[in-house]
Chain A
Amino acid sequence: MQRAFLALAAAGAIAASAQACAQAAPAATTSRYMATVNRTTLYNEGCSMGSAALSGVVVLDFGEPYTSNGTQGTYDYGSAFVSDSSIINAAEGFLDGFWNCSPASPQLRLVIGTSNYGSQVSNAAGSAWGSAVNSLNNYISSKGYGSQEFARGGIDAEPGWDTEFSRTSSWVDGYNAATSYPLYDYGSADACPYSGYSGNCDGWGQHGLWYISWGNHDGYPLPEIYQWSMADQWYYESVYSSTSESNGRLGFLGTMTQYAACGCGSSTYSPSQGFNTLQNLLNGDSRTSYTMSYSTDITWAN
Chain B
Amino acid sequence: MRKFTILTALSLLALTACGHGGHNALPSSAGGTMPDTYLHQKMAAEQQRVPSTFVAPKHPGYIAETPSTQVWASGITQAGEAPVPGGMFDITNQYNTTMNGRHVTVYAGSLKTTGAGILLVVTRSADLHTVNAQTYTVASGPVRIQSAADGQLQLQTLGAAHQNVPFRLPM
Contacts and interface: CB of A to CB of B under 8 A. Distances in A.
Given A33-B83, A299-B131, A40 B56 contact: no
Contacts, number: 231
Interface string B52-71: 11111011111101101011
A281 B51 CA distance: 37
Nearest to A240: B27
B100 interface: no
A35 B59 contact: no
B159 interface: no
B3 interface: yes
Interface in A248-298: 248-249, 251, 253, 258, 261-263, 280-281, 283-287, 290
B43 interface: yes
A141 interface: yes
Contacts of B71: 80
Interface string A220-252: 100010100000000010011011111111010
B23 interface: yes
Interface stretch (A5-13, A124-132, A170-178): A5-13
Contact of B133 (A14, A48, A261): A261
B47 to A, nearest CB: 8
B28 to A, nearest CB: 7
Contacts of B87: 158, 160, 188, 190-191
B94 interface: yes
A251 B31 contact: no
Interface string B16-38: 01111111111111010111101
B54 A14 contact: no
A63 interface: yes
Given A6-B3, A239-B27, A79 B49 contact: no
B122 interface: yes
A243 B39 contact: no
Given A261-B133, A301-B131, A14 B14 contact: yes
B60 A300 contact: no
B61 A301 contact: no
B99 interface: no
A145 interface: yes
Nearest to B72: A78
Contact of A118 (B20, B61, B79): B79
Interface residues of B, number: 76
B124 interface: yes
Contact of B73 (A18, A79, A224): A79
B7 interface: yes
B52 to A, nearest CB: 3
Nearest to A302: B128
A249 B33 contact: yes
A153 interface: no
B55 A144 contact: yes
Contacts of A191: 87
The 9 closest A-B pairs by CB, nearest first: A146-B52, A144-B56, A21-B18, A17-B14, A248-B34, A79-B73, A284-B19, A302-B128, A141-B50
Interface of A: 6, 9-10, 13-14, 16-18, 20-22, 33, 35-36, 38, 40-41, 43-44, 47-48, 50-51, 61, 63-64, 75, 77-80, 97, 99-102, 115, 117-119, 137-138, 140-141, 143-147, 150, 158, 160-161, 180-182, 188, 190-191, 195-196, 220, 224, 226, 236, 239-240, 242-249, 251, 253, 258, 261-263, 280-281, 283-287, 290, 299-302
Given A47-B63, A243-B27, 17 more contacts: A48-B62, A51-B60, A75-B81, A78-B128, A101-B58, A138-B50, A146-B52, A147-B55, A224-B85, A236-B26, A249-B36, A251-B43, A263-B132, A284-B21, A285-B19, A301-B129, A301-B130
9 contacts: A16-B11, A38-B65, A41-B127, A61-B83, A117-B86, A144-B56, A239-B27, A281-B20, A300-B131
